[in-house]
Amino acid sequence: MQIITEPGQMQAIAEKLRLNRQCIGVVMTMGALHEGHLSLVKLAQQTAGIVILTIFVNPSQFGANEDLHKYPRPFEQDAALAKAAGVDYLFAPEASSIYPENYQTTVECSTVTKRFEGELRPGHFKGVATIVTKLFHITKPHISVFGEKDAQQLAVIRRLVIDLNMDIKIIGAPIVREDNGLAVSSRNIYLSSQERNAATILYKGICHATRRIADHETDLAAIATEIEQMIQSTPGCRTDYICFVDDKTFEPVETAESEKEYRLLLAMYSGTVRLIDNMKIRA
Ligand code: AMP
């Protein structure tokens, strides 16, 4: 595995790979690699002959009061995990080479970002859309894998690729969970053991929704309220949002129609740690 830090060098390598008719797959991460990230690498390897993994803690997608400076950066460990997973190139640039002095261009996706993470984290998706566009130009992939863990982000990227005529196939990867149902996340290290236990209420809420819908309940707003009550009555936990949405537009839906597909979006705090999760649901 080759480690690259300069955008120009990564671009030159990607261009050469393309000239040699190699299929390039890219997986973008902020590092602190875990099983979720590695499942994305595995999925990319099933389609692409060459896999580029990017590690970049993107400053422009963090809000002023968020965890940019304390975000974990175990680079040596990440490089070892990437190598063991069979990654071909690890692209890990410095912020100064991605956003040099006088940098002034951004990419914004307007409608799908209106609510939920977009509303609660102003500027977040502008930062995401901009860095994803830049990393696409640097790594020149044919395919790229993103996790359903960040479902709204995945919807933004699908929109971005269509709207800007990027010839890249976007593949969504299922959420990897711990045995207790908690979605694996780099931010789970912030949880104390008590907060980690309490956080399992999030997956219990998802299971509750799945059961209620299997029992033919069509009042999605009522199910969301039930989950909200489950979370609010768990010590140390409070909800941020619980909502069923149309899976493509991310517009809220109150009543289920038979055979249609929805997504349940959940965000909550366990102590001070914010957790998001979601599940695709077919009525
Ligand atoms: P991050 O490093 O948190 O920015 O995540 C990088 C990529 O990994 C994104 O596409 C995430 O959606 C994906 N990802 C993070 N956690 C998981 C998980 N538990 N299961 C599947 N994909 C994940």
pLDDT, one tens digit per residue, over 161-179 is 999 999 999 999 999 999 9
Answer whether 147 contacts ligand 1 (Cβ < 6 A): yes
Report in angstroms the alpha-carbon separations of 162 from 99, 111, 131, 169.
25, 14, 17, 10
pLDDT at 248: 83
Answer whether 183 contacts ligand 1 (Cβ < 6 A): yes
Is a pLDDT exceeding 90 seen at residue 141? yes
Catalytic residue among 37, 69, 137, 208: 37
Residue 102 Cα, ligand 1 centroid: separation in angstroms?
31
pLDDT at 283: 84
For the chain, where do the domains classified as CATH 3.30.1300.10 start and end? 186-282
Spatial distance between the Cα atoms of 12 and 269, rounded to a whole number of angstroms: 43
Quick check: is 208 catalytic?
Answer: no
Query: Going by CATH, does the domain composed of 2-173 fall within 3.30.70.100?
Result: no
pLDDT at 66: 95
Answer whether 176 contacts ligand 1 (Cβ < 6 A): yes
Per-residue pLDDT tens digits for 175-221: 999 999 999 999 999 999 999 999 999 999 999 999 999 999 999 99
Answer whether 237 contacts ligand 1 (Cβ < 6 A): no
CATH number of the domain at 186-282, out of 3.30.70.100, 3.30.1300.10, 3.40.190.10, 3.20.20.140? 3.30.1300.10
Is a pLDDT exceeding 90 seen at residue 90? yes
Q: Poorest-confidence range of 7-16, 243-252, 263-272?
A: 243-252
Is a pLDDT exceeding 90 seen at residue 116? yes
pLDDT at 258: 87
Q: Is 49 left (phi over 0), alpha (psi -120 to 50) or beta?
A: alpha
Spatial distance between the Cα atoms of 248 and 111, rounded to a whole number of angstroms: 11
Is a pLDDT exceeding 90 seen at residue 259? no
For the chain, where do the domains classified as CATH 3.40.50.620 start and end? 2-173
